[in-house]
Chain A
Amino acid sequence: MATQASDFQTLSRRYTADKPFRAFIQKALGGYYTKRDENKANFRDWQGARDLAAETKYEAVNHLDKYLLEFEQKITARGAKVFWAPNAEAARDYILKIAKENGVRSIIKSKTMTSEEIHLNDALEKQGFGVFESDLGEYIVQLRKEAPFHLVFPAMHLTRGQISDLFQKELGSEATDEPERLTMIARDVMRRKYCEADMGISGTNFAVAETGMISITENEGNARLTTSLPRIHVALLGIEKVLPRLEDLSLFLPMLATAGAGQTMTCYNTMYAGPRQPGEPDGPEQMHIVLLDNRRTELLADAEQRDALGCIRCGACLNVCPIFKNVGGYSYGTTYGGPIGSVITPHLRGLKDWKHLSAASSLCGACTEACPVKIDLHHHLLQNRRNGAKAAPNPLEKITFGGFSMMMGRPALYRLAAGLGRIFQPLQGLVNGTILDPLRAWTGSRKFPKLASTSFHEQWRKERGGRK
């Protein structure tokens, strides 16, 4: 029976074996590393900025009820409606209800991972609504009926040739190998959609309690159009995204840009304080904020890993992760991939089915170092391994480690085992990596080190002639 864990094994084996694909991903990330480092160096003190960002998120997440209420009160006063959705179903139902009540036909969306999390497009399409993703990468994966490959770069796994083929097939456009031409094809298609859509659905990068605003970060301008032209704006907002003060954005906007895409600032950082106000010429008549819990409060209750709610979804931890770079975004089988996804998915979707992700890490700590808000990612992966072992002990593992610790605590037993190892290693060599090999899990993809013919202990005794 296929489980999430066995799917992960199958897919990660397949992607890891695909060397051209790995090289393609590495190349795509190459430019990011250079620009990120340039921009980090421009900060007077990137580490100081990380400290302050971590402190600010600590303050916000540990007083979440207070800041959410302040945000709700301020943005409601401006005419927005706030809906509190305890789970994905409640969020979907609410959005469907608004769409039906207002006679909506066409819906345009800007990039929102939260909507992927609650499978919103499926629900809307099943009810007969046309839903169009406007972010270029999201549009491409939507046409391919795929999920985003990466939190920030949804279509980074595709070559221009594949995208050109896709556009020829789905849009009837001409073949081209120019990214510029491909972008313009999508631009032209989407222009009509913005003008015709009744409802725009966006995500939210930050909510500001002090002023009752949501802040959306983007490069393409698609989110601005999505929130300007349709008569209804629905913004999905994970409860963890609230910041106390407007000025906090002056830290988080440049940090998100630098960590996320190696930019000084993302092209558009827009703050929305409600729907169109009296006297304003455009903007939606209605603005709905869907505040989503969907088990984020489970993570909040785990004080040890609560800092993971500080995540600003920049994707920096994915970009540096040696596992992500080799297995790619689809192996994880989760909305949120890479190290942050491996940390939070067991909380959001259950430890039992997702604990294997904690092993998808070399524990090198590159993720923790890359995180702009200092989430202790690799330690949380270790804690999830511990929690997983505690929740469902593996008897074989227990016996193995029991035996190992017994051996390591008794010199005579250790010497005996080392002696036996030397005798049996040549035999293992005959079947190395094959199905007959008892150590196959290890030797299938690695060399087993050769045991020394004389141990260090024996050499020491010989050299020092029995001196104590």
Chain B
Amino acid sequence: MNGGRSIILNRIREALRNNPAPRPHTSHSQTEAAAGHNGHAQREWLPQVGTTLPEQIDLFAKISEGLRTECHRVPTIEAAREVLAKLSAESGWKKIGSHSHHDTDSLLQGIGLPVVRTEKGYAIDDLESCDAGVTGCEVLVAQTGGIMVSVETAGGRALSVLPPHHVVIARTSQMVPDLTAAFEHVKRKYGKQFPSFLSFITGPSRTGDIERILVLGAHGPKRLTVLLID
């Protein structure tokens, strides 16, 4: 059906045959070996992350502040519920989106608002008119202040991006030091059966397309709140 496949593959093989390219000029002799065999060589060069959990939580909180992610550290799920109730009252939420997941279910107990649940499918306009989307996550990434979400932990693809306020419930046990560890986590958890969607969310949606001036809430959420349970 697609003759283009063999055309392109032939062109590639022809271009590479007996036609070696000079290796890149690198000053670090060990990188060559490392790049070939050890997928974790990048850790040597990427930003430093502390080895203990408190250090990682502090780093995550510090980077979050710079990103304008609102990170609340709470001792218990009950305390998280109070923060959520406060957010809801302040912003005058009328309807929220969420999905069934152990922590989101527990968090939304007694919220007293209509909840659009996405895990079994939903009408787009119904979700679009929600004031907030409440999701879980796979892991939190200390190095970048990132939140890794997936289909399973964020109720599909759209719940964490369509409503104007995204609230994430997470536990400190979900903290990982860096992106490499986040990838190791999903490989361990899913084997080869990855969800069709995995995303690192690093701060609320933003743009600088007008005069390079930062504006939050370009197309995705204007606010991002992390409720981090110790």
A283 to B198, CA, bound (A): 12
Closest A residue, CB atoms, query B205: A221
Q: How big is the B interface, by class?
A: 35 or more
Mark each residue of chain B from 53 to 72: 1 if its CB lies under 8 Å from any CB of chain A, else 0: 00000000001001100000
**Complex alpha-carbon distance, A28 and B209, angstroms:** 10
Give the docked Cα–Cα distance between A187 and B77 (Å).
34
Are A52 and B31 neighbours in the complex by a CB distance under 8 Å?
yes
> Does B47 make an interface contact (CB < 8 A)?
yes
Q: Which B172-219 residues have C-beta < 8 A from chain A?
A: 178-180, 182-184, 187, 194-213, 215, 217-219
Task: Specify which chain A residues have a CB less than 8 angstroms from the CB of B47 in the assembled complex.
Answer: 42-44, 254, 264
A85 and B4 form a contact (CB under 8 A): yes
Q: Is B98 an interface residue (CB 8 A)?
A: no
Query: Could you say which of A28, A31, A163, A229 contacts B124, with CB atoms under 8 Å apart?
Result: A229
Q: A219-B218, A225-B219 are in contact. Are A277 and B202 (CB under 8 A)?
A: no
Q: Which of A40-84 contact B (CB under 8 A)?
A: 42-49, 51-52, 54-56, 58-59, 61-62, 64-65, 68-69, 78, 83-84
Pick from A48, A267, A270, A271 the residue with the most CB of B within 10 Å: A267
Does A144 lie at the interface of the complex (its beta carbon under 8 Å from any beta carbon of B)? no
Asked if B102 is at the interface (CB within 8 A of a chain A CB), the reply is no
- SS class of chain A's interface: helix, strand, loop or mixed? helix
Chain A residues whose CB sits within 8 angstroms of the CB of B155 once the complex forms? 281
Using an 8 Å CB-CB cutoff, how does the interface string of A123-157 with B read, 1 for contact, 0 for none? 00000000000111100100000000000011110
Chain A residues with CB under 8 A of B115? none
Q: Given A65-B16, A253-B200 in contact, is the A220-B119 Cβ separation under 8 Å?
A: no
Q: Answer whether A32 and B212 are a contact pair too, CB < 8 Å, given A44-B45, A220-B220, A271-B199.
A: yes
List the one stretch of B20-28, B79-87, B88-96, B106-114 in contact with chain A: B20-28
- Bound-state Cα–Cα, A21 to B42, Å: 40
Q: How far is the CB of B132 from chain A (nearest CB, A)?
A: 15
A59-B36 contact in complex given A134-B219, A300-B15, C-beta closer than 8 Å: yes
Q: How far is the CA of A134 from the CA of B207 in the complex (A)?
A: 12
Assembled-state Cα–Cα distance A61/B183 (Å):
23
A269 and B4 contact, CB distance less than 8 A? no
Query: Which of chain B's residues have a CB closer than 8 A to the CB of A184?
Result: 217
Known: A43-B46, A64-B16. A58 touches B24 (CB 8 A): yes
Interface centre among B48, B199, B218, B220 (most CB of A within 10 A): B218
Query: Could you say which residues of chain B place their CB within 8 Å of the CB of A407?
Result: none
Cβ–Cβ < 8 Å partners of B11 in chain A: 86, 293, 297, 300
Q: Which of A218-237 contact B (CB under 8 A)?
A: 219-222, 224-225, 227-229
Assembled-state Cα–Cα distance A198/B198 (Å): 22
CA distance A219 to B35 in the complex (A): 29
| Known contacts A47-B27, A224-B220; is-contact A182 B8 (Cβ 8 Å) | no
- Contact indicator B13/A65 (Cβ below 8 Å): yes
- Is A224 a contact partner of B157 (Cβ separation < 8 A)? yes
Given A78-B196, A275-B196: A245 in contact with B24 (beta carbons within 8 A): no
**Is the pair B46, A44 in contact by a Cβ cutoff of 8 Å?**
yes
Chain A residues whose CB sits within 8 angstroms of the CB of B196 once the complex forms: 78, 272-277, 280, 283
A365 to chain B, nearest CB (A): 13
B52 at the interface (CB under 8 A from A): no
Q: Which residue of A lies closest to B152 (CB)?
A: A280
- Which B residues lie within 8 Å of A194 (CB)? 219
- Could you tell me which residues of chain A, from 236 to 284, have a CB within 8 Å of some CB in chain B? 239, 245-251, 253-254, 261, 264-277, 280-283
Chain A contacts of B19 at CB under 8 A? 301, 303
A429 proximal to B (CB < 8 A): no
B32 within 8 A of A: yes
- Least Cβ–Cβ distance between A109 and chain B, in angstroms: 13
Contacts of A303 in B (CB 8 A): 19-22
* CB pair B178 A225 closer than 8 Å: no
Check A270 against B210 for contact (C-beta < 8 Å). no
Interface string of A271-314 (1 = CB under 8 A from B): 11111110011110000000101000110110110110000000
Q: Which one of B23, B25, B42, B146 lies within 8 Å of A251 (CB-CB)?
A: B42
Q: Which residues of B contact A (CB under 8 A)?
A: 2, 4-5, 7-9, 11-16, 19-28, 31-32, 34-36, 39-42, 44-48, 63, 66-67, 99, 118-122, 124-125, 128, 144-146, 151, 155-158, 161-162, 178-180, 182-184, 187, 194-213, 215, 217-221
Q: Give me the 3 closest cross-chain CB pairs, A-B, nearest first.
A: A221-B220, A250-B179, A220-B218
